[in-house]
């Protein structure tokens, strides 16, 4: 269901996909979660994957950064076959791929400043000769939380933790960001703020993003393109409007 404009845009571009997945399979015992899933993520776009709980969305993200090993299939990230990378090469690739976990995954014993410093201390080359404190303040400003720099995670609301986790990801200036259910567990107002922040990040940092969600309203606002993941495959793809207007009962089940 890719629109002709999207096909023309991608075919006319000399750039390869930022992420390319072909025939991905992953099972846990008798539970066949992914059964031949495919996608291409292009530079600068927000690609949203919608699926029901337990459909394999989070498993897909973990396979991309090799936190989980697929049973079959090919995953190429920034031109590199993930399955062929050694530990050092994989660590280097992960620096270019930010991962926003559902639970934010902040270090509870560190202040906000220390949380943001942590990835840079491991990869100081990412900010070069810039002043680290200035980078921290600028990055916190981009998520609207400059005033939290000396707070502990326990002093932050759920939405604030999500923003700080995103700021920590941005400290390494990734080319791709993977969002795992970014609005889950948040109230409607905070969810809208996170959605707007994701759009702001896309525009300001020129990132490509793969966003998994079951929040259709968030998907409508964020997505340049969408894929519906059901029965372990990329069942349908296209714009939100195209999918919402489909007569296919399996697609319509997501829009009721």
Q: What is the pLDDT of residues 156-195, one digit of tens each?
A: 998 899 999 999 999 999 999 999 999 988 899 999 999 9
Q: How many Cβ atoms sit within 10 Å of the Cβ of residue 171?
A: 23
User: What does DSSP say about strands 176-180 and 97-100: parallel, antiparallel, or unpaired?
Assistant: parallel
Report d(CA 120, CA 168) in Å as an integer.
Answer: 9
Two tokens at 52? 């029901």
CA distance 19 to 31: 26
Please state the CATH superfamily assignment of the domain spanning residues 18-96+174-185+196-256 in this structure. Answer: P-loop containing nucleotide triphosphate hydrolases (3.40.50.300)
Residues in the chain with pLDDT values less than 70: 1-14
Q: Residue 144, Cα to own-chain centre: how many angstroms?
A: 20
- The structural domains of the chain, with segments of one domain joined by +, span 18-96+174-185+196-256, 105-171
Beta strand pairing status for 46-50 and 225-230? parallel
Give residue 1's pLDDT: 52
What pLDDT score was predicted for residue 101? 80
Q: Tell me the backbone φ, ψ of residue 61, rounded to 5 degrees.
A: -60, -40
For residue 8, the model assigns a pLDDT of 39
């Amino acid at each position: 269901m890719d629109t002709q404009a999207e096909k023309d845009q991608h075919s006319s571009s000399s750039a390869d996909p930022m992420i390319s997945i072909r025939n991905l399979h992953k099972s846990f015992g008798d539970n066949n979660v992914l059964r031949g899933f495919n996608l291409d993520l292009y530079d600068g776009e927000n690609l949203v994957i919608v699926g029901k709980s337990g459909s394999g969305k989070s498993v897909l993200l973990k396979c991309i950064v090799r936190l989980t090993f697929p049973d079959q299939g090919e995953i190429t990230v920034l031109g590199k076959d993930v399955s062929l990378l050694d530990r050092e090469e994989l660590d280097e690739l992960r620096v270019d791929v930010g991962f926003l976990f559902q639970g934010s995954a902040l270090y509870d014993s560190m202040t906000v400043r220390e949380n943001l410093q942590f990835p840079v201390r491991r990869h100081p080359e990412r900010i070069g000769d810039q002043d680290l404190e200035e980078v921290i303040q600028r990055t916190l400003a981009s998520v609207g939380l400059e005033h939290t720099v000396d707070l502990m995670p326990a002093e932050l609301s759920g939405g604030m933790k999500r923003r700080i986790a995103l700021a920590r990801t941005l400290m390494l200036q990734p080319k791709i960001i993977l969002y795992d259910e970014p609005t889950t567990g948040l109230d409607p107002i905070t969810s809208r703020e996170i959605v707007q922040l994701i759009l702001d990040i896309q525009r300001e940092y020129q990132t490509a993003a793969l966003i998994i969600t079951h929040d259709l309203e968030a998907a409508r606002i964020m997505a340049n393109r969408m894929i519906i993941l059901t029965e372990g495959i990329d069942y349908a793809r296209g714009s939100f409007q195209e999918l919402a207007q489909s007569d296919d009962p399996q697609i319509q089940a997501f829009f009721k």
